[in-house]
Amino acid sequence: MSQLSQVVGEIQQEAAAVPTGELGAHIRASLEILTEYIGQLQSPGRSAASLDETSGAANDVLYAALFTALYVQELATRPARRYAKVRLSFN
C-alpha cells in the first residue's frame, strides 16, 4: 500500500468516527487553515532562499486540502437529518 493511500485510509477512518455535528466544525476549521496556508504561499517577499519553506508550505496546503476533501466526502455520504412536521392545535 502506498504512503498516500495509507494516509487517505487513515483520514477516512478518522472522519467516519466523528459525529455529524462535529464534522462540520472540523471542515470549517480545515478551510480556515487552508486559507492561511495559501495566504502564506502567496505572500509577497518570498525569496528564492526560502525554497525549502515554500516546499513545506505547499505540502501543508496539499495535506489540508486532502483532509478537507475527505471530511466533506464523509459528510456528503451521511443521510440528511429528517425533521418531523408538528402541527399545534388549540382545540
For residue 91, being part of any structural domain is answered with no
Its pTM stands at 0.70
Other Cβ atoms less than 10 A from the Cβ of 68: the count is 19
Q: Using an 8 Å Cβ cutoff, are 81 and 22 in contact?
A: no
For residue 72, being part of any structural domain is answered with yes
For residue 51, being part of any structural domain is answered with yes
Q: What is the pLDDT of residue 63?
A: 87
Total number of domains in the chain: 1
For residue 86, being part of any structural domain is answered with no
Q: What is the pLDDT of residue 61?
A: 85
* 41: its cell numbers: 504561499
For residue 88, being part of any structural domain is answered with no
At residue 64, φ and ψ (nearest 5 deg) are -65, -40
Q: What is the pLDDT of residue 46?
A: 58
Question: Domain residues for 46?
Answer: 3-77
Distance of alpha carbon 15 from alpha carbon 18, whole angstroms:
5
For residue 68, being part of any structural domain is answered with yes
Q: What is the pLDDT of residue 89?
A: 74
Other Cβ atoms less than 10 A from the Cβ of 28: the count is 11
For residue 61, being part of any structural domain is answered with yes
For residue 54, being part of any structural domain is answered with yes
Q: What is the pLDDT of residue 53?
A: 67
Give per-10-residue mean pLDDT for the chain (91 aa).
86 92 91 87 64 72 90 90 74 64
**What is the greatest pairwise CA distance in the chain?**
79
